Copies of this chain bind each other. A is one copy, B any other.
Amino acid sequence: MTLPGLRERKKQRTRDTLTRVALEFFTTQGYERTTVDEIVDAVEVSQRTFFRYFSSKEEVAFAVQQMVEERFLEALRQRPPGEGPFDAMRNAVLCAWDTIGDAIVEVVPVELYLRSLQTIESTPALLAVHLRRSTEMEETIAGIIAGREGLDMDVDPRPRIAVAAFSGVMRVTGQLWGRGTDQSLEAIRSLTEEYLDHLGPALAPSWRARSGESGHGAL
């Protein structure tokens, strides 16, 4: 493996700096109250350059998140084929949370990344983009699950359904973590674990009965 040339390294450095400075502005003074001009002035590049690296002001807010997601996908693909779909997803997130730290420190401090997650949750425009990105992830995940189970996604809806339910829980987790007081990496990990365990029981026909009969009420 040859290390990349000066040109490539310079580009990477510009990109990383833009990301870090942007996240710093976003998390301290807020996303809306930060203009692209502020960012590029601080990094000393032209606005045009910013938009060559990021297609929008929103995109830079997800530069780190993107790396984390790729890590999760990798973990999911490595899961042993014996695991059921739900357990595979569950264990892959937990694995990912255990190892993200190493991956992102190259670009930004972990603490800045965690703060950026809260900015995303609390900024309507960013939250919207976050959710759309999540659904794109879901398609990818469903594809992996379908592959593991030897199913055709276009015929059998179960991969998409299971992933949708799983992701829904993950989203609620992120939401509640952002609102809570313990904003550490460990907190987000243990919340993930706890809430995923709630999913099965929450879908039982009745939360009152120990074991309810199935079947639905009449309209």
Asked if B161 and A172 sit within 8 Å, CB to CB, the answer is yes
A167 CA / B170 CA spacing, docked (Å): 13
Q: Does A3 belong to the interface (CB within 8 Å)?
A: no
A217 to B91, CA, bound (A): 8
Give the shortest distance, in Å, between A80 (CB) and chain B (any CB).
Answer: 7
Query: Within 8 Å of chain B (Cβ to Cβ): is A212?
Result: yes
**A206 at interface, CB cutoff 8 A:** yes
Q: What are the interface flags for A67-95 relative to B under an 8 Å C-beta threshold, 1 for contact and 0 otherwise? A: 00000000000001011111100110011
CB of B87 within 8 A of CB of A217, answer yes
Set of chain B residues within 8 Å of A5, measured between Cβ atoms: none
Complex Cα spacing A135 to B91, Å: 25
Query: Is B172 a contact partner of A164 (Cβ separation < 8 A)?
Result: yes
User: Do A219 and B91 have beta carbons less than 8 Å apart?
Assistant: yes
Known contacts A128-B132, A132-B131, A171-B135: A202-B165 contact under CB 8 Å: yes
- Identify 13 residue pairs between A and B in the complex whose beta-carbon atoms are under 8 Å apart, listed by A's number: A84-B212, A90-B216, A91-B216, A91-B219, A128-B129, A128-B131, A131-B131, A158-B198, A158-B202, A160-B172, A165-B202, A165-B203, A167-B168
5 nearest CB pairs, A to B:
A164-B168, A131-B131, A168-B168, A128-B128, A165-B165
